[in-house]
Amino acid sequence: MSRDIEMRLARELPAYALRVVGALEAAGHEAWVVGGWVRDALLGRPGHDVDVTTSAPWQQTARVLRAAGIEVHETGTAHGTVTAVVDGSPVETTTYRVEGAYTDRRHPDEVRFVTDVREDLARRDFTVNAMAFHPKRGLLDPFDGEKDLAARVIRAVGEPRRRFEEDALRVLRAVRFACRLDARIDSATQDALVSCAPELAQIAHERIGQELDGILATGRAAWALRHEFAVMAAAVPELAPMAGFDQKSPYHAHDVLEHTARVCAGVEEFTGGGASQALRWAALLHDVAKPECWSEDVSGRGHFFGHPEAGARTARRVMARLAIPGDVSRAAAALVLLHDFEIRATAPSMRRMLSELERACPGQARRLSFDLLDLKRSDAVAKAPQCTGYAVELDQMTRALRAELAAGAVWRVGDLAVGGADVIRERGIEPGPGVGMVLAQLLATVMDGQLPNDREAQLEWLRW
371 touches, from ligand ATP, Mg ion, none (C-beta below 5 to 8 Å by class): none
228 touches, from ligand ATP, Mg ion, none (C-beta below 5 to 8 Å by class): none
C-beta atoms surrounding 104 within 10 Å:
9
Q: Which residues fall within 8 angstroms of residue 13, CB to CB, at 6 or more apart?
A: 33, 37, 41, 50, 133, 135
Contact residues toward ligand ATP (CB under 6 A) are 35-36, 48, 124-125, 129-130, 167, 169-170
How far are the Cα atoms of 233, 238, 303 from residue 247, in angstroms, in the given order?
A: 19, 17, 8
Residue 122 or 462 having the CB closest to ligand ATP:
122
Taking the complex as a whole, how short is the minimal distance between the CB of residue 48 and Mg ion, in angstroms? 7
How far apart are the C-alpha atoms of 413 and 425, rounded to whole Å? 17
Taking the complex as a whole, how short is the minimal distance between the CB of residue 130 and ligand ATP, in angstroms? 6
C-alpha dihedral, 203 to 207 to 213 to 219, nearest 10°: -70
Residue 210 or 329 having the CB closest to ligand ATP:
210
How far apart are the C-alpha atoms of 455 and 416, rounded to whole Å? 8
125 touches, from Mg ion, ligand ATP, none (C-beta below 5 to 8 Å by class): ligand ATP
Taking the complex as a whole, how short is the minimal distance between the CB of residue 170 and ligand ATP, in angstroms? 5
358 touches, from Mg ion, ligand ATP, none (C-beta below 5 to 8 Å by class): none
Residue 36 or 138 having the CB closest to Mg ion:
36
Residue 211 or 268 having the CB closest to ligand ATP:
211
Taking the complex as a whole, how short is the minimal distance between the CB of residue 79 and ligand ATP, in angstroms? 11
Residue 182 buriedness (CB in 10 A; 0-12 / 13-18 / 19+): exposed
Residue 170 or 316 having the CB closest to ligand ATP:
170
94: left (phi over 0), alpha (psi -120 to 50) or beta: beta
DSSP for residue 448:
T
Nearest to residue 281, comparing CAs of 354, 361, 355?
A: 361
Contact by Cβ (8 Å): 361, 334: yes
Closest residue to ligand ATP: CB criterion:
36
Residue 126 or 294 having the CB closest to ligand ATP:
126
Label the pairing between strands 97-99 and 89-95.
unpaired
Taking the complex as a whole, how short is the minimal distance between the CB of residue 93 and ligand ATP, in angstroms? 13
260 touches, from Mg ion, ligand ATP, none (C-beta below 5 to 8 Å by class): none
Taking the complex as a whole, how short is the minimal distance between the CB of residue 2 and Mg ion, in angstroms? 29
124 touches, from Mg ion, ligand ATP, none (C-beta below 5 to 8 Å by class): ligand ATP
Contact residues toward Mg ion (CB under 5 A) are 36
Taking the complex as a whole, how short is the minimal distance between the CB of residue 48 and ligand ATP, in angstroms? 6
383 touches, from Mg ion, ligand ATP, none (C-beta below 5 to 8 Å by class): none
Residue 209 or 311 having the CB closest to ligand ATP:
209
How far apart are the C-alpha atoms of 420 and 428, rounded to whole Å? 11
Residue 36 or 348 having the CB closest to Mg ion:
36
Residue 41 or 438 having the CB closest to Mg ion:
41
241 touches, from ligand ATP, Mg ion, none (C-beta below 5 to 8 Å by class): none
Helix (H, G, I), strand (E, B) or coil at 207: helix
Q: What is the DSSP string of 393-417?
A: HHHHHHHHHHHHHHTT---SGGGSS
Taking the complex as a whole, how short is the minimal distance between the CB of residue 125 and ligand ATP, in angstroms? 4
Taking the complex as a whole, how short is the minimal distance between the CB of residue 36 and Mg ion, in angstroms? 5
Contact by Cβ (8 Å): 378, 263: yes
How far apart are the C-alpha atoms of 105 and 202, rounded to whole Å? 7
